[in-house]
Structure 1
Amino acid sequence: MIRWGKERERWKSKNKLFFVNLPFGVSAVCLLAIGHRENRIKHKLIIDWPGAITLCGSVIAILLA
């Protein structure tokens, strides 16, 4: 019975933290949507195949090591 009270208090504090951070997150997303202007220059995509193969090989080697 005592444990349930502690768990409930921990949940309530996490719930309060969520409702405190929620307005900051929403306002940050709104400000970003309003203020961000993206300028894109269209150009032909060039892939560095030797670099991509080297990167993939090194990541696989590290994961298997």
Structure 2
Amino acid sequence: PHCPWQNGKVERFNRTLQTEWAYRQVFPDNPARTAALATWLDHYNTERAHTALDGHPPISRTQSPT
């Protein structure tokens, strides 16, 4: 229902989510998988280099509170 470039961003995020979190390791159960998601999202937003941001994490795009 959205513009193609918005869907593309979502599809790319979903692909990254699958390869770097969901299928990277075997989880013993769904609660363990869910618990690992918060850690991965923190890594994705604060540490992981993004090519669209010239190698910086998304957190670098936010303004620091003053």
Q: What TM-score, normalized to structure 2?
A: 0.33
The answer to which structure, 1 or 2, has the higher relative contact order (CA under 8 A, 6+ apart) is 2
Give 1 or 2 for the bigger CA radius of gyration.
1
Q: Which is helix-richer, 1 or 2? A: 1
